[in-house]
Amino acid sequence: MHIGPHELPNNVFVAPMAGVTDRPYRRLCKALGAGYAVSEMAASNPRLWASEKTARRLNHDGERAPVAVQLAGADPQMLAEAARYNADRGAQIIDINMGCPAKKVCNVACGSALLKDVAAVARILEAVVAAVEVPVTLKFRTGWDLSNRNAVDVARLAEASGIAALTLHGRTRACGYAGHAEYETIRAVKQAVRIPVIANGDIDTPEKARFVLAATGADAVMIGRAAQGRPWIFRETVHFLATGSHLPAPRVAEVRSLLLDHLDDHYRFYGDSGVRTARKHIIWYTRALAGGREFCAHMNAIDSSAEQARAVDRFFASHGERSERLVYAPTLH
């Protein structure tokens, strides 16, 4: 699959998730088979670009190409300026967020709130595409609510505006993450446009990825919450799509090594604040294992990165021989 001139190694992608898909996590997912990763959402307001939080979100040092930056905003010229700013600093793809359902985003007419105003969508897309030479993509939802689903209209408008690819989360803004993804709407969008369409929503197993690709005709799938604490889902899915067979579950030694390496990269990226931000990742990795709940409760009381890493090491050492394979409960991911 291609996005503009960029040929991607496979069609299994990691979804941009606020507070999750930072540089260490994107690098890990790509190393474990994700064919593409987009940064977590960054504000288009230039007053925020110098902030530590936004600077981190725009940091792609050492990340495998293509570098993709997701931007959020409601002002076409501000978004265009932000796109130019990022392209000048190495972004190879600009992704526009019209899918975030969070109230704090929608309350300022950003994210999926933009789907209420198709004319505003057109102005934004045209301004950003005209501002940069790199491909521009769009991530959006099926509509504002179940009575106002306009994904096909938005998709056609996006294609006419020069958007290079579409990612569609199969829910409305009002649905949030409840209910089931509307794969029939993703299929309708795929049939309505000629540009690549990426299906997102409720893809939590290799079998589900195969089902969604077949049901929607989409060019790729994007996995989000199911990869939290389980980043090897990308290699599992790529392998299953190619062969129809399953890779064995990871061994204790590998998961320990993956998590400790992830933590090391995380601490170096965030500095002292990394202890707090690492907790959610540790919890995702361990909560479905024997003794996981008790360990997670203990983890929240640790304030030292060195002690946090030692505690993780001890936890995995308690799970028997390191050659054994771990069994995760998929309902918890």
**What pLDDT digit, counting tens, does each position of 90-139 carry?**
999 999 999 775 555 544 545 667 888 899 999 999 999 999 999 999 99
Do residues 101 and 173 lie in contact, with contact meaning Cβ atoms separated by under 8 Å? yes
Residue range 216-250, pLDDT digits in tens: 999 999 999 999 999 999 999 999 999 999 999 89
- Residue 310 three-state SS: helix
Residue range 36-60, pLDDT digits in tens: 999 998 878 766 666 777 777 778 8
Q: Kindly name the residue from 29, 100, 110, 175 that is annotated as catalytic.
A: 100
With 0-12 / 13-18 / 19 or more C-beta atoms within 10 angstroms meaning exposed / middle / buried, residue 63 is middle
- Residue 330 three-state SS: helix
pTM over 0.85: yes
Do residues 161 and 132 lie in contact, with contact meaning Cβ atoms separated by under 8 Å? no
101 and 237 fall within a common domain: yes
Per the domain annotation, does 260 fall within a domain? yes
45 and 78 fall within a common domain: yes
* Cα–chain center distance at 17: 5
The token pair at 169 is 């989360």
Using the 3D structure, point to which of 201, 220, 243 is the last residue of a domain. Answer: 243
35: domain CATH number?
3.20.20.70
Per the domain annotation, does 326 fall within a domain? no
Sign of dihedral through CA atoms 75, 77, 78, 84? positive
Per the domain annotation, does 328 fall within a domain? no
Do residues 202 and 215 lie in contact, with contact meaning Cβ atoms separated by under 8 Å? no
Strand 148-149 vs strand 143-145: parallel, antiparallel, or unpaired?
Answer: antiparallel
CA distance 210 to 139: 21
**Structural domain count, the chain:** 2
The token pair at 178 is 């409840």
111 and 33 fall within a common domain: yes
Domain that holds residue 286: 252-317
212 and 300 fall within a common domain: no
Per the domain annotation, does 120 fall within a domain? yes
Active site residue 29: no
Of 28 and 252, the one with more pLDDT: 28
> Can you give the pLDDT at residue 330?
46
